[in-house]
Amino acid sequence: MSVDFNELLGAMNDLTGKTAIVTGAARGQGAVEAELLATAGASVLICDVLEEDGAALAERLDGEGRDVRFLKLDVTEEAEWTVALDMVRDWTGRLDVLVNNAGIINRKIIADMTIAEWRKVQDVNVTGAFIGVKLASPMMQEAGGGSIINISSNSAFSGHYDPAYTASKWALRGLTRSAAMEYAEQGVRVNAICPGLIVTDLNRESPHLGPMIGMTPMNRPGEAHEVAQLVLYLASDASSFVTGEDFVIDGGFTAGAAYRRVARETGII
């Protein structure tokens, strides 16, 4: 098979003609992901419950020449997803990429957490993504295929002190693999990204920030644009044979932060 390497390079950064929905994109990582996808040429629908921030971001990006709109979408509301998909259908007629990025955290331990608080986290982080996968994938199939990217966390590889959040992020990995199996033959790829510490409004005030950075082998938090670059790779045709996978992006934390600490404390490294 002859390969056009210039075409391969182009495919890595080019989303021209594609349409993407990014949830939870009014701020934080979602906002940077939406901006990068739009800069790569995609029409991007920014969705969030934060109407003022989302509308302002869409207005700025659109004013700078990118094709971006905002819609208020609570990911737990099926009816609002339907409105979003109808809007995309009227706008570009196709959906190629969905980034299930919206997420919340509750830092209570099990002993202190109410069942309602537990359910709230699962509802936004897991059920919200499930509704997105369920409703968006048929529209992607109409476009000949697509890419769904679920933003999980590196806390989905161990036990963690945020049990409701941790359980929800493990569940997202399970949803990702199950959906990847269900939709593989229809051309819809489904992958998960599992970031480590990225400083955003989700954790800016957390007392865990300092110790987490200290434990991270690369000795720093990640940047939202570093996660966005992975989102772009998975959204683009450069990842055409990639589905059902977790991508950890955490400066080496999951790879062995605990053993690194032991090695440091015993003077091995």
Binding site for ligand NAD (CB under 6 A): 23-24, 26-30, 48-50, 73-76, 101-104, 124, 128, 151, 153, 195, 197-198, 200-203
For residue 191, the surrounding DSSP H or E stretch is strand 188-195
For ligand NAD, give the closer residue by CB, 146 or 195. Answer: 195
Shortest Å, Cβ 230 to ligand NAD = 12
Quote the least distance from Cβ 269 to ligand NAD, whole Å.
26
What 3 state SS string does 116-149 have? HHHHHHHHHHHHHHHHHHHHHHHHHHHCCCEEEE
What distance in Å separates the CA atoms of residue 234 and residue 243, rounded to the nearest whole number? 9
| Residue whose structure tokens are 């933003």 | 151
Measured from the CB atom, the residue of 39 and 122 that comes closer to ligand NAD is 122
Residue with smaller CB distance to ligand NAD, 49 or 234 = 49
* Cα angle 190, 257, 126; round to 5: 30
Q: Dihedral angle at the C-alpha atoms of 135, 140, 143, 145, nearest 10 degrees? A: -150
Task: For the chain, state the CA radius of gyration.
Answer: 19
How far, in Å, CA of 194 to CA of 152, rounded? 5
Q: Where are the beta strands (DSSP E) in 29-115?
A: 43-48, 68-72, 97-100
Measured CA to CA, the distance from residue 256 to residue 2 in angstroms comes to 41
Residue with Cβ nearer ligand NAD (68 or 102): 102
Residue 238: CB minimum distance to ligand NAD, A: 22
User: 161, 165, 183, 259: which one is catalytic?
Assistant: 165
CA distances from 6 to 12, 131, 235, 264 (A): 10, 38, 19, 45
User: Rounded to the nearest whole angstrom, what is the least distance from the CB of residue 100 to ligand NAD in the complex?
Assistant: 8
Our answer to whether residue 183 is catalytic in this structure is no
Whose Cβ is closer to ligand NAD: residue 15's or residue 22's?
22
H or E segment and range at residue 115: helix 115-122
Rounded to 5°, the CA angle 123-95-182 comes to: 60
Closest to 187 measured CA to CA, from 229, 147, 227, 159: 147
Question: What minimum distance in Å lies between the beta carbon of 242 and ligand NAD?
Answer: 20
The residue (of 128 and 251) whose beta carbon lies closer to ligand NAD is 128
Residues tagged active-site: 165
